[in-house]
Every structure is written in structure tokens, then in C-alpha cells.
Amino acid sequence: MKHDIQQLLQDLEHDAIESLDNGAFHQWSQNEIDALHLALACERPLLVRGEPGTGKTQLARAAAVALRWHLHPVTVSPRFEASDLFHGFDAVRRLADAQAAGFAGGGIRDDAHYWLPGPFWRAFDWAGAQAYGPSAASQQAEAQPAPAGHVILIDEIDKADSDLPNSLLEVLGSREFPNPVTRAAIRPTHGLPLVVITTNEERELPAAFLRRCVVLTLEPEQPYPRFLVKRGRAHFGPQAKRPANDCLDDEILQTAAAQLAEDRRH
């Protein structure tokens, strides 16, 4: 499996433009390719720093496309809890079922029906996770094939408190966490997932967490308008394989870039 991963990464080239599933395009830099190599080789999370608009989130999506792995995107909010990365419990549905059963005189389903596998559960044990949740029966009937690998995107981790990075350290260090129903250990069945974490550095992350990550800082190339024009070509130029009447010429891109750079300066 590692040989296949390395071959896929070797196919990436500096300045290569890659089409993503959401209709966007990503332009690879050598720093991004090297950081991805290192994170996969060391089996460590890739922490991506940089100001908004430098492509931190897009990097994870591009990595999933390049590796042909399944992407599990997670957007962190101030109310996000560390346990949400592993599993959740649908207490509202269980209460509604209990009330309906009380009126009808029947019973409620077992707890496995209300536990919802999180991204780490699905990435560690794809087949086992399909046995849980309200749609478990239909998922098992469809027999969804396991992806070749998994990329977990934890977007804007700096919005959460320190419990989140600390929980990640524990799970990635031990490579297991307990099944909330059976209490048996859930372990990776096909290698560790690639964990890509982004931060806008609104809050300082724990030093122990930073030491365990491969850190990549995305900075716009200088001069800034040239950086913007280069990215504009990737999305709206002939390289993006758009129809000729849907492309923007360099004059328009340069005008837009100059205006954006001026707005940013102010």
C-alpha cells in the first residue's frame, strides 16, 4: 500500500493543476508536496497554517483526490466537542422513539441504532461503522466497498478548546479508541488515515500537539498580485480545461489582482 501511495505522490508535479470534485482547481507547490510526503511517511498529522485564502482547506481536498482516498471533512466551531470526531449519540431521536413506543405500547431499539460513527470511526473501521446508526440496515444491504484510504480534514481547529488537540494526541498515539457500545478497541484496519488540520492561529495550540505534527505554513508568493494571477489562471484559464468563452484573459486577472491586493493592504 505504501508503494502505491508513493507512486501517486511522485506523479504530483510542482505547478501542476488538479481538478477537484467540487469543481475547483488546486495548483500544487513543492512545499505542499514535500509536506504531504513527510506526513504520510511519519504517520503524523499535517498542520496547515496561513491566513484565509491561501488554500489550507483546499489542500486536504486535493490530497484526497491525488491519493484517491475518501475525504471526511469536519468544520470546527466553538461548540464542537472532541468526542464528535469519534462518535455521537442521537439522544433526540431516541427520546422521540421512546415516546412513540410508549403510546404504541412497544419497545425502543437498542443503543447501536442511535450511536453515530464519527470520521475517525469510519476511517479506522469502515465496515464496522456501517453496523451503527439509523441507516445501518440499508448500508449493510448495499455493502459499500471500503475506500483505499481516508483523509480526515479538521478545519479551523483553533476555534476549539485544548481538549480537541489533546484527544487527537491520545488517539493517534495509541491508534485506538473504545467502541461506545461494546467497549472493544476500534483500531485501523487498513493503516492510519491522513489527518490534515488547518488553523488561522486565532488561538495558540498546545506545544505538545505542535511537536507531534508536520507543520506547513502557506504564505502567498511575492509580489502578491502575481500570486493571485497565478491562482486565477488555475481556476479560469485554459489550463483548467474550460471552454474558450468561459476563460478570463490575463488583463482581467491582473486588474482583479491589483484591486484585491489594494483592498488587502487597506
Q: Which residue type occupies 261? A: A
Alpha carbon 133 to its chain centroid, in Å, reads 22
Among the residue ranges 13-17, 43-47, 169-173, 181-185, the one predicted with the least confidence is 13-17
Residue 196's CB is within 10 A of a number of other CB atoms, namely: 28
Residue 3's pLDDT band, with cuts at 50, 70 and 90, is: very low
Alpha carbons 105 and 98: distance in angstroms, whole number: 10
Which domains, and CATH codes, for the chain?
A: 2-219 (3.40.50.300), 221-266 (no CATH)
Decide: pTM greater than 0.85: no
Among residues 65, 85, 64, 63, the alpha carbon closest in space to that of 74 is found at: 85
Q: DSSP letters of 95-146?
A: HHHHHHHHHHT--PPPGGGTEEE-HHHHHH-HHHHTTSSTTHHHHHHHTPPP
pLDDT value for 141:
44
- 217, pLDDT greater than 90: yes
Convert the pLDDT of each residue in 77-91 to its tens digit: 888 888 999 998 877
As a whole number, mean pLDDT of residues 158-184 equals: 89
Mean pLDDT (the chain) is: 82
